Amino acid sequence: MNISHSFPKTQLNSKLVNLIFISSSLGLIIYLFFSSFFLLPNTQLLFQTRTQFSYPTSINHIVFGISSNAKSWPERKEYVTMWWKPDQMRGCVFLDVPLNSSSNNNNNNTAVPSDDSLLPPVCISGDTSRFRYTWRGGPRSAIRVARVVSETVALNHSNVRWFVFGDDDTLFFVENLVKTLSKYDHELPYFIGTNSESFDQNKLLSFSMAFGGAGFAISYPLAKTLAKVLDSCLERYPHLYGGDERIWSCLAELGVGITREAGFHQMDLAGDPFGLLAAHPMAPSVTLHHTDYLDPIFPNMTNRDAIRHLYKAAELDPHRILQQTVCYDRWFQWTISISWGYAVEVFGKHVFLPDVLRVPTTFRPWRKGNVFSFDTREHDEDPCRRPVVFHMNTTVLDGDETISIYKAMTKGNCASNVGSPREIEMIKVHAQKMNLGMKQLLTPRRQCCDVLPSSRREKLEIGIRECHEDEVIR
Ligand SMILES: *[C@@H]1O[C@H](CO)[C@@H](O)[C@H](O)[C@H]1NC(C)=O
Ligand SMILES: *[C@@H]1O[C@H](CO)[C@@H](O)[C@H](O)[C@H]1NC(C)=O
Ligand SMILES: *[C@@H]1O[C@H](CO)[C@@H](O)[C@H](O)[C@H]1NC(C)=O
């Protein structure tokens, strides 16, 4: 149903009509039969669908509900300023109690820009003391967090297609959120998000739950329905741990399950998230999460500076950020994997494409012993036996083209012989600015790249382009 808008069905129908007309002497009778019982109602329906999609989903159709609290907000709001566009976005950040000036002053994080006009308005959550919470040792605030959904709906904004929820450390790539949601018919009951990277967390909670920190979206009609029944539903689930479990349970009671989108990231990991970002699935990156609990995504930077650095590339080409492209250098037998705007891995040998697409386990499980719920490849203990990594240094826009430069930020003490990728000093990647149309969103296809003839051993130049129809990446 959700893809109906991408095909001009009324046109197909009229072609069908023409065919029927000319192909048979019974044509008129058949036509009348079909038109009264089949074509006409169908055409009407399609006209409605077409009208609705004649205005593509934009940021103006989304209302955000961000869960925070007075304690963490002064410190987390720095993350929200990185993606919030005050003149274009609607919604609220929900706090438990009003911020008072003394708690602001006590905050020692003086580097935080404190221009609150750049931030979402603050809403204070309603009282939840009447609800029972029986998960021993768990946070009662889970009830308040679940009610962010109904309280965001109750803001009564007009012209809303989607409600989008996240934590105060959920980092959105807003253009990609909009693109991802634009695939779906917002008049149908959709619940869109993703589960955890931890198999064990999914097993414990549910594989079909949208984990809250990854961010999730609920279409307007479903959110309205959920808001109506939420309080009575919450009464039935005092024994659950989190807010997202409550939302998921109440949606399950409405008969709705998750639609998984691989661009949302819960990031239930510890250590260096490099692998996850270097081998991103073929979907626009929608969110990152938990970055305060992980190593900085760029070496020699603070967590927040590293995220800001990534957003600089994302601003120039949001659709391409973290998209993985792989090419092969025939001369040196290298395998080059680009995660656009973030990093390039160069293997000093040929590696089959399916193996390059697996996620190198540069990180540890969220909890000891947890198993990951995605494809992994080994991350060698010995840095000298790993592919050489180049992190994004700068990205510039040159007309419709981007040039991104990647450099080795940590130099290991590895012996390097002639022809080793360790001799590379920088990698320069040229790419067209990506503009995802409905075709690429519905049937994504990886792009191709070439090592350009202008390359030298120390300065690799690579061009990313669309693959030819029958081109193989090998
Ligand atoms: C939203 O609309 C409902 C019903 O019309 C009303 O009860 C509520 O007070 C309104 N909320 C706001 C914030 O305007
Ligand atoms: C980019 O490279 C230049 C020159 O090597 C260096 O001074 C600068 O710190 C680098 N910037 C980043 C963000 O790595
Ligand atoms: C980054 O930090 C590491 C140690 O933390 C250091 O060895 C390395 O030289 C630094 N790299 C740059 C480019 O400053």
Q: Which helix (H) or strand (E) holds 465?
A: strand 459-465
Determine, yes or no, domain membership for 24: no
By CB atoms closer than 10 A (0-12, 13-18, 19+), residue 41 is exposed
What is the number of helices (H) and of strands (E) in the chain? 14, 21
CB neighbours of 446 closer than 8 A, spacing ≥ 6? 282, 324, 325, 326, 467, 473
- Residue 393 Cβ contacting ligand 2 at under 6 Å: yes
Query: Is the separation of the CB atoms in 152 and 165 below 8 Å?
Result: yes
Distance 99 CA to ligand 3 centre (A): 39
Best mutation site among 156, 158, 160, 228 for ligand 1, i.e. most ligand atoms within 8 A of its Cβ? 156
pLDDT for the residue 18: 42
Angle 32-35-41 (CA atoms, 0-180°, nearest 5)? 155
Distance 156 CA to ligand 1 centre (A): 6
Q: Is residue 2 one of the residues assigned to a domain? A: no
Confidence at residue 49, expressed as pLDDT on a 0 to 100 scale: 53
- 66 and 137 in a single domain? The answer is yes
**Could you tell me if 190 and 332 lie in one domain?**
no
The closest residue, in CA terms, to atom 10 on ligand 2 is 393
Q: Are residues 77 and 188 in the same domain?
A: yes
Low-confidence ranges of the chain (pLDDT < 70): 1-54, 101-114
Q: Do residue 78 and residue 213 come from a single domain?
A: yes
The predicted model scores a pTM of 0.87
Rounded distance between C-alpha atoms, residue 208 and residue 281, angstroms: 19
Query: Among the three residues 226, 241, 260, which one is the final residue of a domain in this structure?
Result: 260
Write down which residue in 217, 234, 260 finishes a domain.
260
333 and 255 both lie in a single domain: no
Structural domains in the chain (count): 2
**330 lies in the same domain as 248:** no
pLDDT per position as a tens digit, 136-165: 999 999 999 999 999 999 999 999 999 999
Identify whether residues 230 and 120 lie together within a single domain.
yes
- pLDDT score for 54: 64
Q: What percent of the chain has pLDDT over 90?
A: 80
Q: Which residues pair with 122 in a beta bridge?
A: 93
Which atom of ligand 1 is nearest to 155's Cα?
13
3-state helix, strand, coil in the chain (%, to 5): 35, 20, 45
- For residue 101, the model assigns a pLDDT of 58
Given a contact cutoff of 8 angstroms between Cβ atoms, the answer to whether 182 and 57 are in contact is: yes
Residue 233 in domain = yes
Q: Are residues 256 and 326 in the same domain?
A: no
Report the distance separating Cα 49 and Cα 217, nearest Å. 21
Bridge partners, residue 365, by sequence: 269
- Residue ID of nearest Cα to ligand 3 atom 7: 410
Tens digits of residue pLDDT in 189-232: 999 999 999 999 999 999 999 999 999 999 999 999 999 999 99
Please enumerate in sequence order all residues whose Cβ is within 8 A of that of 346, keeping only pairs 6 or more positions apart, or say none.
Answer: 334, 335, 336, 337, 387, 388, 390, 421, 424, 427, 460
Largest CA-CA distance found in the chain, in angstroms, rounded: 87
Q: End of a domain among 210, 225, 260?
A: 260
Count other Cβ atoms within 10 Å, centred on residue 387. Answer: 22
225/371 same-domain check: no
Question: 22 exposed, middle or buried (CB, 10 Å; 0-12, 13-18, 19+)?
Answer: exposed
Q: What's CA 203's distance to the chain center, in Å?
A: 22
298 C-alpha to center of ligand 2: Å?
A: 12
Atom of ligand 3 nearest to the CA of 300: 1
Pair 323, 400 in one domain: yes
* Ligand 2 centroid – CA 272 distance (Å): 21
Q: Is residue 31 part of a domain?
A: no
Same domain for 335 and 437, yes or no, is: yes
Cβ atoms within 10 Å, residue 139? 14
Alpha carbon distance 449, 193 (integer Å): 31
Owner of token pair 């592919």: 387
CA distances from 5 to 45, 49, 189, 437 (A): 11, 7, 17, 13
- The ligand minimizing its distance to the Cα of 296 is 3
Pair 234, 326 in one domain: no
Instruction: Tell me if 418 is assigned to some domain.
Output: yes
Sign of CA pseudo-dihedral 301, 112, 79, 74: positive
**pLDDT number for residue 305:** 98
Contacts of 176 (CB under 8 A, 6+ apart): 263, 284, 285, 286, 318, 319, 321
Please give the number of the atom of ligand 1 that sits closest to the Cα of 156: 1
252 occurs within a structural domain: yes
pLDDT of residue 247: 98
CATH code where residue 89 lies:
3.90.550.50
Which residues span the domain enclosing 401?
318-465
Secondary structure of residue 328 in the 3-state scheme: strand
Ligand closest to CA 391:
2
Q: Is residue 445 part of a domain?
A: yes
100 lines ligand 3 (CB under 6 A): no
Q: Give residue 139 CA to ligand 1 midpoint distance, Å.
A: 29
Query: Could you tell me the two tokens for 404?
Result: 């991104």
Rounded CA-CA distance 111/368 in Å is 34
Place of tokens 């109506």: 228
Ligand nearest to the CA of residue 305, numbered in listed order: 2
pLDDT at 187: 96
Residue 235 CB-density burial (10 A; 0-12 exposed, 13-18 middle, 19+ buried): exposed
333 belongs to a structural domain: yes
